[in-house]
Structure 1
Amino acid sequence: MLQKFWLKLALIITIPLMSLSLMAYMVDSGLRKSNHTALAEWNALFNAKINADLLILGSSRAAFHISPYILDTTLRLNSYNLGMSAWRFDMQWTRFKLYLEHNKAPKYIVHNVDLYGFAKRKNLVDYQQFLPYLNEPLLMNNLTGIKGEFNNFQKYMPMYKYANDWDLAWEGFKCYAGVPNVAHTNKYKGYQGNDIPWDNQFEKFKKKYPKGINYAIEKDVKVSFEEYLQFCQKKGIKVILVYAPEYFEVQPFYKNKNSFNILCQNAVNKYGCTFLDYTNDSLCFEKKWFYNSQHLNKKGAEVFSAKLAKDLKKLGVGR
């Protein structure tokens, strides 16, 4: 009797686990082929479909500001935008490492750098983009030790990570089965222009920080930044650091701009980078080009991309 009990118990546990494991395999595999807006860039990266001559890195100020279409048209090369909204240099460096594992090295990197980008992110944001790739050690290293990090149930219990994302899981099932007309991204080679009006985020920022704000440059992130620049120098990858336009009224609120400028100047002197600083560009002085103090709207981004493309061409980038 006891032996039958344990056999039944083993079956009760094993069969559901096997079924869930099969479901998880199907969902993950399908999502890794999906063109879902949260996953398209990661999937292109892991499936070796980028292989860019020029790679664009950075935060949302890269993802929303620099159009590969405009760069490609002017420079006559193949560019791709791997900017990550809300994520900072440590994740950007990780994304580049993963890119190199699956794609050819670029000749050029246009890396938008931000004042706030040299301190590690303290919480998990836009988590859906990582769900099919929780088995990637390099990626998980960046997602460990932060608020809201993936727990062991999400990492190791089949399908548990999709408990709050059944629509995404269903997308994975459909992609796995080859069902047509599944979700499609509205981005072009990673770039997304935002055709939206001026919001009230800058007004909230001014109320929150009436005396300004000092963004930290953390020592270990600074060390990683130099490792990245040294790596690119050794590989013969030309790095162009870019500080994209921002609405001029926000600039007096920054208390660490001098430290940031020293960091960028060191990159120029020590690692042969070029630094294109658009702090005083004419775009910065007209609100019509922005939807908040940090982000250009679609028209502003396209005007900026055209300016950037011309400046890159002057540097000898392209054909």
Structure 2
Amino acid sequence: MDRKKTIYVFKIIISFLLISFIADKAVYLLFNKISDDVYSGQSIGKLNQYLKTKNDFDFIVFGSSRANHHVNPNKISNNCYNMGVDGTMIAYSHSLITLLPQKKQTILLHIDPSNVFSNSYLGEDIKALKSKYNRNSIVTKNIDQLGQNNIFQKFYWSLGYNKIAIPIIKNFFKPKYDYKEYNGYDPIYVSKSQQKIFEKILNEPKETDCLETFNVNKLYNKLLDDLVMFSKKNNKELIVFSSPIYFDYCERDNIEFEKIMKEKQIRYYDFTNLFQDNNSIEFWRDRTHLSNIGAEVFSDSLALKIL
């Protein structure tokens, strides 16, 4: 290729990159404006509500779907919020907790003991905060430290809205609920047909699912230590709990996790076998998720322990 053609191609590439860069920032600013007014839905609405109101609560619940669908904040306090989000683990919760102010608050963190000993966990759930990557320095730092960043997002900021743009727009025009009346709790209502399906599953052969050795995941260990330190510095009480399971195929991980909690001097309550002596089918959606009925019973038990 001669010199003139090379310069021409180079100019085209530069022009394309410049246009795409400008277009990216325009889309980013547009979605910032739209998303900042969205306070419903788990894509970003619940997160926005938390960021707006987090300083006001005395108790905040964190964790996965087994926190979101299981803990009724009203059973704990008139000033409690459930920030559980489906599909998340400790990395997501850790980032949100470290955004809390330096004031007295109680943190209720759900952890599934089986996840603590998983070698495959790398903190990928923190990607659920990617929409705040270019807007919050703490979120940026945490995502980068876990190596879960998209290097292109440092230049193309609108990538943070990838896969959540449509839910944001839907909730902008038609909110799912009035967030001022929402406490973060999403109970699961089980139909009779769903209950029958679960009963059939229970009759299927059961397989034990237990590790031979229990080595704590290094990331879990680090983030738990971070939370202990953060809580001490910021006047927080950290309470870790594990939600009920219909039948626990491996109890050894619970025992090992309880040892870790004692070593770290973290207040811990294991409710895995809460319904062992009264395991009514109406309490359950599936083996690890409670129905609204079971969740109310569990919330009462949790409140009795922590208050």
CA shift, 1:221, in A, is 2.1
Supply the AA of the counterpart residue of 2:67. A
Aligned length: 287
Who is 2:269 aligned against? 276
CA shift, 1:241, in A, is 2.6
CA shift, 1:170, in A, is 3.6
Q: Distance in 2 between matches of 1:201 and 1:114?
A: 24
Supply the AA of the counterpart residue of 1:184. K
Q: Contact 1:107–1:238 at 8 Å: present in 2 too?
A: yes
Q: Distance in 2 between matches of 1:12 and 1:281?
A: 60
CA shift, 1:191, in A, is 1.5
- Offset from partner CA, 1:25-72 (integer Å, 9 cap, x none): 021232133123121232123334552111112222211111112222
Q: Distance in 2 between matches of 1:291 and 1:186?
A: 26
Q: Contact 1:51–1:106 at 8 Å: present in 2 too?
A: no
Who is 1:87 aligned against? 88
Find out whether 1:151 has 2:150 as its counterpart: yes
- Aligned-pair identity (%): 17
Find out whether 1:43 has 2:18 as its counterpart: no
Who is 2:260 aligned against? 263
Q: 1:191 to 1:155 in 2, by over 3 A?
A: farther
CA shift, 1:169, in A, is 5.8
Who is 2:28 aligned against? 24
Q: 1:62 to 1:24 in 2, by over 3 A?
A: same
Find out whether 1:189 has 2:183 as its counterpart: yes
CA shift, 1:24, in A, is 1.6
1:1-319 pair list within 5 angstroms: 14=18, 17-37=21-41, 38-48=43-53, 50-72=55-77, 77-98=78-99, 100=100, 103=101, 105-118=103-116, 119=118, 121-122=121-122, 124=124, 129-135=128-134, 136-140=136-140, 143=143, 151-157=150-156, 159-160=158-159, 162=161, 164-168=163-167, 170-171=169-170, 175=172, 181-185=173-177, 188-196=182-190, 197-198=194-195, 203=201, 210-214=207-211, 217-247=216-246, 249=247, 251-267=248-264, 270=265, 273=267, 275-282=268-275, 285-313=279-307
Q: 1:130 to 1:279 in 2, by over 3 A?
A: closer
Q: 1:66 to 1:19 in 2, by over 3 A?
A: same
Supply the AA of the counterpart residue of 1:224. L
Q: Distance in 1 between matches of 2:61 and 2:27?
A: 35
SS at match of 2:249: helix
- Offset from partner CA, 1:78-106 (integer Å, 9 cap, x none): 111122322222332222002x1xx4534
Supply the AA of the counterpart residue of 2:44. L
CA shift, 1:230, in A, is 3.7
Q: Contact 2:131–2:161 at 8 Å: present in 1 too?
A: no
| Ranges in structure 1 where 5+ consecutive residues have no aligned partner | 176-180, 314-319
Q: 1:167 to 1:220 in 2, by over 3 A?
A: closer
- Offset from partner CA, 1:229-266 (integer Å, 9 cap, x none): 2432454422333222221x2x1334423211212333
Q: Distance in 2 between matches of 1:213 and 1:279?
A: 15
After TM superposition, the structure 1 stretch with the greater mean CA deviation from structure 2, 80-89 or 111-120, is 111-120
Supply the AA of the counterpart residue of 1:301. A
Q: Distance in 2 between matches of 1:312 and 1:21?
A: 47
The RMSD of aligned alpha carbons is: 3.8
CA shift, 1:111, in A, is 2.2
Q: 1:57 to 1:265 in 2, by over 3 A?
A: same
SS at match of 1:276: strand
| Ranges in structure 2 where 5+ consecutive residues have no aligned partner | none
